[in-house]
Amino acid sequence: MAGIEKVLITGGCGFIGANLVRYLLDRTQWSLRVLDDLRAGKRAHLEDGMADIVVGDASVHETARSALQGVDAVVHLAAQTGVLPSLEDPERDFWGNAGATFSILESCRRMGVEHLVFASSGAALGDAESPLHENMVPRPLSPYGAGKLAGEAYCCAYAASFGMHTVALRFANVYGPFSRHKPNAVPLFIARALGGEPLEIYGDGSQTRDFIYVEDLCEGIYRALTAEDVAGEVFQLGTGVETSVRRLADTVHDALGGTEVVFKPARSGEVRRSRVDVSKARSMLSFEASVELREGVERTARWFRSSS
Ligand SMILES: NC(=O)c1ccc[n+]([C@@H]2O[C@H](COP(=O)([O-])OP(=O)(O)OC[C@H]3O[C@@H](n4cnc5c(N)ncnc54)[C@H](O)[C@@H]3O)[C@@H](O)[C@H]2O)c1
């Protein structure tokens, strides 16, 4: 999109946000503002001068509106993340997900900010059969997934009703630097391997995921923000590659050196297989992930070592 000068990144002090800020500073001339209430992210994830940082809650309309002053486009990452917290406290999840997304969208409408990319998740689809694609009927299994689906629905409705350029991106399993606080397989394995502890696999390790390196994901976000003719669309963003948790553990083991793998009882309700069909993002956004798992694991491990 022509004419972007200033972009607001909600949740910009979190894992994906800290990477996106760096990606956009490298790739564009845009000036960046971050809105983050620091419930999970850290101010220290950003260096001085990278972005104006507004500390506040995106679900509070006044805060959202003041953060949107002078902004041309928004990447809305701020959310209560994770399925488990949403099961423990669905009401908190509602305000942290659906509520925050509504607040940002409605504030954009009132302030005349037309471009918004929304971070959705494969959780909106529920336990659908892989490969996951955009034509499937979403059946979220958790309040977290329901909140993401509600966000997608509002993005679609605000595009149709108010002519906003909204795009919802369903991220696959993202990994990379600045993820020490995330309870996900890649950072947990890397932290344990670097600490000389065994890698723990729940079940036999044959469960699969689509692991996307965060820099590839940032490229997808950038493309969604700047593409023409995608208002109201939903895209799956992943690699299209199905990787078993066992293979991930072996990759971490090979890349970082000797640590054993131990098997624990399988967790109930866990999705067995997950892989994304990226053909829509490929054809409409010219998106293609390019970082191989081994390379991404090594880059992530370098960050873990340098930041410990
Ligand atoms: N990491 C993944 O694999 C993954 C997969 C699918 C979707 N997503 C989505 O991507 C987005 C970013 O995820 P992440 O992994 O970087 O998580 P994260 O927790 O590291 O980052 C989220 C950031 O948002 C901030 N935040 C949360 N609620 C806020 C609010 N109401 N107001 C202001 N700031 C708030 C947190 O402090 C944090 O810095 C989230 O919307 C998440 O649901 C992530």
What pLDDT shows up at residue 2?
60
Closest CA to 76 of 90, 91, 58, 60: 58
pLDDT digits (tens, 9 = 90+) for 42-72: 999 999 999 999 999 999 999 999 999 999 9
- How many Å lie between the centroid of ligand 1 and the Cα of residue 258? 32
Cα–Cα distance between 155 and 158 in angstroms, integer? 5
Q: Which helix (H) or strand (E) holds 191?
A: helix 185-194
Cα–Cα distance between 40 and 36 in angstroms, integer? 9
Q: Which helix (H) or strand (E) holds 63?
A: helix 61-68
| Minimal-distance CA residue to ligand 1 atom 18 | 14
What pLDDT shows up at residue 182?
97
Cα–Cα distance between 120 and 16 in angstroms, integer? 13
Please identify every residue annotated as catalytic.
Answer: 144
Dihedral angle, C-alpha 145, 126, 77, 180, nearest 10 °: 100
Closest CA to 102 of 43, 158, 55: 158
Our mutation pick for probing the ligand 1 site, out of 20, 34, 75, 77, counting the most ligand atoms within 8 A of Cβ, is 77
Atom of ligand 1 at shortest distance to CA of 39?
37
Q: Is the pLDDT of residue 308 over 90?
A: no
| Minimal-distance CA residue to ligand 1 atom 26 | 78
Contacts of residue 77, Cβ cutoff 8 Å, sequence gap at least 6: 9, 10, 11, 12, 14, 16, 17, 20, 119
Atom of ligand 1 at shortest distance to CA of 178?
20
CB-ligand 1 contact for 39 (6 Å cutoff): yes
CB-ligand 1 contact for 46 (6 Å cutoff): no
CB-ligand 1 contact for 150 (6 Å cutoff): no
Instruction: Report all structural domains of the chain as residue ranges with CATH numbers, in order of start.
Output: 6-174+212-237 (3.40.50.720), 175-210+241-306 (3.90.25.10)
pLDDT digits (tens, 9 = 90+) for 209-245: 999 999 999 999 999 999 999 999 999 999 999 999 9
| Minimal-distance CA residue to ligand 1 atom 25 | 11
Please report how the helices 245-256 and 185-194 are oriented relative to each other, as an axis angle in degrees rounded to 10.
Answer: 30
CB-ligand 1 contact for 171 (6 Å cutoff): yes
What pLDDT shows up at residue 278?
97
Cα–Cα distance between 80 and 67 in angstroms, integer? 19
Tabulate helix, strand, coil % of the chain (nearest 5): 45, 20, 40
What pLDDT shows up at residue 91?
97
CB-ligand 1 contact for 96 (6 Å cutoff): yes
Atom of ligand 1 at shortest distance to CA of 42?
39
Q: Is the pLDDT of residue 258 over 70?
A: no
Q: Counting Cβ atoms within 10 Å, is residue 138 exposed (0-12), middle (13-18) or buried (19+)?
A: buried
Tell me the pLDDT band of 123, cut-offs 50, 70 and 90.
very high
CB-ligand 1 contact for 179 (6 Å cutoff): no
CB-ligand 1 contact for 12 (6 Å cutoff): no
Q: Pairing mode, if any, of strands 115-121 and 73-76?
A: parallel
Tell me which residue has tokens 């630097």.
177
pLDDT digits (tens, 9 = 90+) for 79-107: 999 999 999 999 999 999 999 999 999 99
| Minimal-distance CA residue to ligand 1 atom 23 | 11
Strand residue runs (E) in 242-299: 243-244, 261-264
DSSP label at 29?
A: -
